[in-house]
Amino acid sequence: MKTFHNPHHALHQGRHEMFRGRLVACHEVPARLDHVRAELQRRALGSLHEPAIDDAALDAAIARVHDPRYVAFLAHAWDEWVALDPSNAQRDALPSVWPLGNPHAFRRDRPPANFAARLGLYAFDAGTPLMAGTWTAARSGAACALAAARAVQDGQRAAFALTRPPGHHAGPDFFGGYCFLNNAAIAAQALRDAGRARVAVLDIDYHHGNGTQTLFYERADVLTVSLHGDPQTEYPFFLGYADERGAGPGEGFNLNLPLPRGTGFPAWRAALERAIRAVADFRADALVVPMGMDTFEGDPISGFLLRSADYTTVGRLLAELGLPTVFTFEGGYAVAEVGINTVNLLEGFWQAA
Ligand SMILES: [Zn+2]
């Protein structure tokens, strides 16, 4: 198994996020990735690489998933934030005004010149700070996802995109949930473009993979499945219900398995087995797993009760599908344990593959 790690991830290091009404220190920190990389090295699981992707190929892969206006916004966001007020160089950019969804309430077709307003046009929360190195880090993360997809396409059974910021909450033209570019979607689309006819995305993060669902909602060639905390009580709240089944040609190709806060491994595993059956029934010929480790019982912002040893079982169950598999690193905020839990899953997969 090859792991592609993001050499620029630490350029994205937020100071604060708005969390349950308070400005708090960011949960999504560089140490998360460092713990995973150290544990991979300690157990000598597979090989570690930096992604080697040329700029044109990377831009093309990002453009297959994200809107060009949104990509241009991200590329220049920090410069515009500082131009708005030079003292902003000392602060992360966070939005504070949003144009709601109702087209009769606010227009979304006229991006304001004011950058603080445009920040709200593309963001869906105030928990996702943007800073000087965000674009470099996110873009390099997309390169990890593309490199992992290529490795699988070149015959590797599995590859891991070890990157942050994470990606599964990012949609065609929006960021939030600590995510800017949807790494899992970029990998899935790259596999499609390389000739895989049917690609399944099985999202096991605690939070619904809303960005990925939105990106593929009207498509029959990419099955999206997510098991996650019930949006009635859990972030991102406004998507992730069981009755979201896809639309148009994508009708029947989205499966949501929301579970109540407090769910332990037996019930979570039953949902995973149902998700795996859906992937098998779809006759997928490649699999992408947005791998969030915030289902762990010690996670500070989530509510499932999986234990470290359970992740080995999760890896084994995923391997039994027998598919070429790309893993992308998503959530997981119990920083001290995220390395052990992540590598338990990968090792379980590898031992059963
Ligand atoms: Zn999450």
Structure-derived torsion over alpha carbons of residues 316, 321, 322, 328, reported in degrees to the nearest 10: -70
- Ligand 1 centre from 233 Cα, in Å? 14
Q: What is the mean pLDDT of residues 64-89?
A: 97
- Ligand 1 centre from 200 Cα, in Å? 19
Sheet holding 254-259, edge to edge: 47-49, 2-5, 158-162, 325-329, 286-291, 199-203, 222-229, 254-259
- Ligand 1 centre from 296 Cα, in Å? 11
- Ligand 1 centre from 311 Cα, in Å? 16
* Nearest C-alpha neighbor of 302 from the set 228, 232, 226: 228
Q: Is the pLDDT reported for residue 28 higher than 90?
A: yes
- Ligand 1 centre from 294 Cα, in Å? 6
Report the Cα 272 to chain-centroid distance in Å: 18
Q: Which amino acid is at 143?
A: A
Q: Tell me the average pLDDT of the chain.
A: 97
Q: Is the pLDDT reported for residue 101 higher than 90?
A: no
Cβ(332)–Cβ(292) under 8 Å?
yes
Token pair 């873009």 in the structure block, residue: 139
pLDDT digits (tens, 9 = 90+) for 241-250: 999 999 999 9
H-helix segments, 108-219: 115-122, 134-153, 183-193, 210-216
Q: Taking the domains of the chain in order of start, what are their residue ranges?
A: 2-66+134-352
CATH number of 2-66+134-352: 3.40.800.20
Return all residues near 143 (Cβ < 8 A) that are at least 6 apart.
Answer: 4, 6, 51, 53, 58
- Ligand 1 centre from 32 Cα, in Å? 13
Give the single-character DSSP code of 249: G
What is the predicted pLDDT for the residue at 102? 86
Q: What is the mean pLDDT of residues 252-263?
A: 98
Q: Is 272 helix (H, G, I), strand (E, B) or coil?
A: helix
pLDDT band of residue 302 (cuts 50, 70, 90) is very high
Give the single-character DSSP code of 83: H
Query: Residue 312: which H helix or E strand, with range?
Result: helix 310-319
* Nearest C-alpha neighbor of 212 from the set 225, 195, 199: 225
Q: What is the mean pLDDT of residues 214-225?
A: 98
Give the number of other CB atoms < 10 A from CB of residue 103.
Answer: 10
Q: Confirm whether 169 is a catalytic residue.
A: yes
What is the predicted pLDDT for the residue at 174? 98
What is the predicted pLDDT for the residue at 21? 87
**The pairing of beta strand 16-19 with beta strand 22-25:** antiparallel
- Ligand 1 centre from 300 Cα, in Å? 11
Q: How far apart are CA 310 and CA 32, in angstroms?
A: 20
- What would the two tokens of residue 285 be? 């010929």
pLDDT digits (tens, 9 = 90+) for 179-214: 999 999 999 999 999 999 999 999 999 999 999 999
What is the predicted pLDDT for the residue at 103? 84
Cβ(334)–Cβ(299) under 8 Å?
yes
Cβ(164)–Cβ(35) under 8 Å?
no
- Ligand 1 centre from 203 Cα, in Å? 10
Of the residues 169, 207, 208, 228, which is catalytic?
A: 169
